[in-house]
Amino acid sequence: MLHKLFLTLPLLSLICLAVASPLEPRAPVPGLIDALLNGVLSTIGQLIKDVLNGVKSAQSGEISTKPLICLSSVDKCCIWYDVSKDLTGRFKGADGQCNDNARAAIRMGFHDAGAWDKYSTNGGADGSLLMDFGEIDRPENNGLQSIRLILREVQQKYKVGYADLAQFAHNHATVTCPKGPRIRTFVGRKDATKAAPKGLLPDVHDSADNLIQLFANKGFSAHDLAALVGAHSSAKQRFVEPAKANFPLDTTPGIWDVNFYNETLQKPRDERIFVLPSDEVLSVHPKVNDEWKSFVGNQPHWNEDYAKAFVRMSLLGVDNVNALSDCTRTLPVARPNGK
Ligand code: HEM
């Protein structure tokens, strides 16, 4: 009996191969990006691998102005110089700090990319939240309506991809905040063809263990999560406690600084800030607390860890990593001294 089964198995797989003809559209293979970064890599694939493995920094100071003659057929970054200039006008306040549009763009980059896990066959950094699949009406995306409309206007004007724009805007916003990291910025992603799967963004009232697991399924360690939620350094809340709408999550929401890490640990707390229940439970969780404390007073450590984790975030679900282009040079200059 067993003997017969062994004989028929190769035959069955041959039949399956014949049925799955090469013309048939194939769903993307689920799994973490690390599996894609094996074998022969392009220069960009190797760079991404080195960044994710900590061999190269996830931040870059490389900068250039738009060449007088910029041929989009040769240089995929040409249009991003224009997008970058446009976003600066929208993200930087008169006081030189990052404004409400910037903080919403930071959250947008996360909510677009983060709706993915290693079991997903779609979702991730695919622009679906900016597109017309109805994701903006999901409760977890409340508050992102205005930045979505702004970024759609930018998309219309420059005809860039939605997926790239969501991530470019995030990276532009962080470096527009004084002290913010200048995160390596890649373009060339494919836009979504349908809505991202539901239930993959974090719930503010969930337990720390569940939140850690949710992020682990996206390829992030508990320490990565500690770095990522630091984005709440430049954040405000409106819907968790409406009576305290527009309360910032640290005392300096226009600056990308490490006050957030210190201020969430303080008891009693500064009355001007609101601490999210999720940040509360994460900050004291044994798998997170040591890293959380290590960011207090250490801006360079946090910026590098955030940038590294966000490069991974910005590539969740992206299956053409070897074909991307590095357009970091089109971003505004970083202001590490806050000036
Ligand atoms: C445990 C994970 C997280 C939870 C539960 C969470 C939850 C929330 C909640 C409830 C708000 C307030 C929304 C409102 O009432 O207006 C918020 C704001 C924000 N979040 Fe998160 N978040 C998480 C992780 C992240 C990550 C990883 C990022 C970015 C990488 C991020 C960026 C932001 C930003 C920038 C804001 C401010 C938005 C604004 O002021 O318009 N969050 N988050």
Digitized pLDDT (tens) for each residue of the chain, 339 residues in all:
444 444 444 444 433 333 434 444 456 678 999 999 999 999 999 999 999 999 999 999 999 999 999 999 999 999 999 999 999 999 999 999 999 999 999 999 999 999 999 999 999 999 999 999 999 999 999 999 999 999 999 999 999 999 999 999 999 999 999 999 999 999 999 999 999 999 999 999 999 999 999 999 999 999 999 999 999 999 999 999 999 999 999 999 999 999 999 999 999 999 999 999 999 999 999 999 999 999 999 999 999 999 999 999 999 999 999 999 999 999 999 999 988
Is 127 known as a binding-site position? no
Residue 14 alpha carbon to ligand 1 centre in Å = 49
d(CA 232, CA 252): 10
Pocket of ligand 1 (CB under 6 A): 103-104, 106-107, 110, 143, 202, 204, 211, 228-229, 231-232, 234-240, 276, 278
Set out the domains of the chain in order of their start, with CATH numbers: 35-52+74-200+310-330 (1.10.520.10), 208-303 (1.10.420.10)
Q: What pLDDT does residue 9 have? A: 42
DSSP state of 124: S
DSSP state of 190: P
DSSP state of 57: -
pLDDT 10s digits, 257-304: 999 999 999 999 999 999 999 999 999 999 999 999 999 999 999 999
Q: What pLDDT does residue 27 have? A: 60
Pairing verdict, β 186-187 and 325-326: antiparallel
Is 206 known as a binding-site position? no
- As a whole number, the mean pLDDT across the chain is 93
Cβ-contact 113, 313 below 8 angstroms: yes
d(CA 174, CA 9): 54
Catalytic residues, which ones? 111
Residue 243 alpha carbon to ligand 1 centre in Å = 18
Buried b / exposed e along 269-299 (16+ C-beta atoms within 10 A): eeeebbbbebbebbbebeebbebbebbbeee
Beta strand spans in the chain (E): 186-187, 236-237, 247-248, 325-326
At 280, give phi and psi (nearest 5°).
Answer: -60, -50
